[in-house]
A and B are shown apart, each in its own frame.
Chain A
Amino acid sequence: MSFDVSQNQDNAELLALFAKGNRLSTISLTSRLAPIIFSQAFHMLNNRADAEDVTQEALLQLWKIAPKWDPNRAQITTWLYRVTSNLCIDRFRKSKRVSSEEMPEVIDKTPDVDQKMQFMARSKALYAGLKILPDRQRQAIVLRHLEELSNPDISEIMEISIEAVESLIARGKRSLVSTLVPQKKALGLNDD
């Protein structure tokens, strides 16, 4: 078992150490933050290569701002969620290729092939539904239901009121429902 002192340090402390040239803090910070960014970017773009590009870019922005980081201003994760969202929206607008062009690998925790196929079909349908939502609705739904953040956190990330977040999520879900209803049976949502 490795003893990592940085486990007990928060992200802001690690970023301050990074700015001073501490390599251990850099490893910890990258290992902590990269999966968070990658997850959000993949959920927004549904494309591994694009998600990796966004992860890289968001982290580079963080390293750049590190020497001037003010820990009293915002949490690093909040700032990163915001940066990642903006990068994803920019990329999404440019490419418009969030689609089934890449089917994600299924993590091997499903018991049989049928269930795996069903998971993939549901995932694909959801991404197709998310694709046609307005940017802000998609962003709010991804943060709430895929990244599982709280509404106050989302309001801070999106810099809007909690009521506005709730409204975006509600409207987004209504649109998703109307898009996905015809596929209800095909997605196996009628029998359980």
Chain B
Amino acid sequence: MTDKDFNHLKLGESDLDKLFDAARDTLPIMDPDFLDQLQIQAFEAMPITRQINSGNSNIKIFKWISTVIPQFGGLHASISLVLIAAIGVIIGFNPPDLVLDFTTIYFDTETLIELAGINNETQIYWEDF
């Protein structure tokens, strides 16, 4: 048996090179539409564009606020409304003594809870009405 008989069991460097050549030559061409898409993504990712876009979102919020404020009677009226609402919430959660004194005198109750009828022994029956 000669070396030639074993030739089919060998794969030389030149054989491998032919396979590499084939793989290189059969590389698909990049789709021009895909390249266009990449360009668009690149523009969107540009740091300047990103800043402008984030700036735009702030501008949108200000535009919305500027349309809402006149509906409440202008800037001063809107601020007053917000302040009054905030004070109302604070009093609701933590009423100052002055409020309690006023309710005690006026409604003849000890606490706001009593005034609201919570835990009050008084029962209301529909038959009474």
Residues of B close to A35: CB separation below 8 A: 30
Could you tell me which residues of chain B, from 27 to 68, have a CB within 8 Å of some CB in chain A?
27-31, 34-35, 37-39, 41-43, 45-49
Q: Is A4 part of the binding interface, using a Cβ–Cβ cutoff of 8 Å?
A: no
A43 touches B42 (CB 8 A): no
Counting chain A residues whose Cβ lies within 8 A of the other chain, the interface size class is 35 or more
A-B contact pairs, 29 of them (CB 8 A): A19-B47, A21-B47, A23-B43, A29-B42, A30-B39, A31-B35, A34-B38, A42-B28, A56-B37, A56-B41, A63-B41, A63-B42, A63-B45, A104-B28, A105-B26, A107-B25, A119-B26, A122-B18, A123-B22, A123-B25, A125-B19, A145-B16, A146-B24, A177-B16, A181-B8, A181-B11, A184-B10, A189-B11, A190-B8
User: 1/0 per residue A1-43: CB within 8 Å of B?
Assistant: 0000000000000000011110100110111001100110011
The residue that B29 contacts in the complex, of A29, A107, A173, with Cβ under 8 A, is A107
**Shortest beta-carbon distance, B6 to chain A, in Å?**
11
Does any Cβ of B come within 8 Å of A113's Cβ?
A: no
**Which of B29, B35, B38, B39 counts the most chain A CB atoms within 10 A?**
B38
Among A51-79, those with CB < 8 Å from B are 52, 55-56, 59-60, 63-64, 66-67
Q: B interface, how many residues as a size bin?
A: 20 to 34
A binding-site residues for B, Cβ under 8 Å: 18-21, 23, 26-27, 29-31, 34-35, 38-39, 42-43, 48, 52, 55-56, 59-60, 63-64, 66-67, 104-107, 109-110, 118-120, 122-123, 125-127, 129, 145-146, 173, 176-177, 180-181, 184-185, 187, 189-190
Decide if A66 touches B26 in the complex (CB within 8 Å): no
Which residue on chain B has the smallest CB distance to residue A179? Answer: B11
Task: Verify B29–A176 contact, CB threshold 8 A.
Answer: no
Q: Are A42 and B47 in contact (CB under 8 A)?
A: no
Q: With A126-B19, A127-B23, A180-B19 given, is the CB distance from A34 to B35 under 8 Å?
A: yes
Known: A27-B39, A177-B11, A177-B16. 20 other contacts (CB 8 A): A20-B48, A23-B43, A31-B35, A34-B30, A35-B30, A43-B23, A52-B31, A59-B41, A107-B26, A107-B27, A110-B25, A118-B22, A123-B22, A125-B19, A126-B23, A146-B23, A173-B16, A176-B16, A176-B19, A181-B10
CB < 8 Å neighbour of B28 from A21, A105, A127: A105
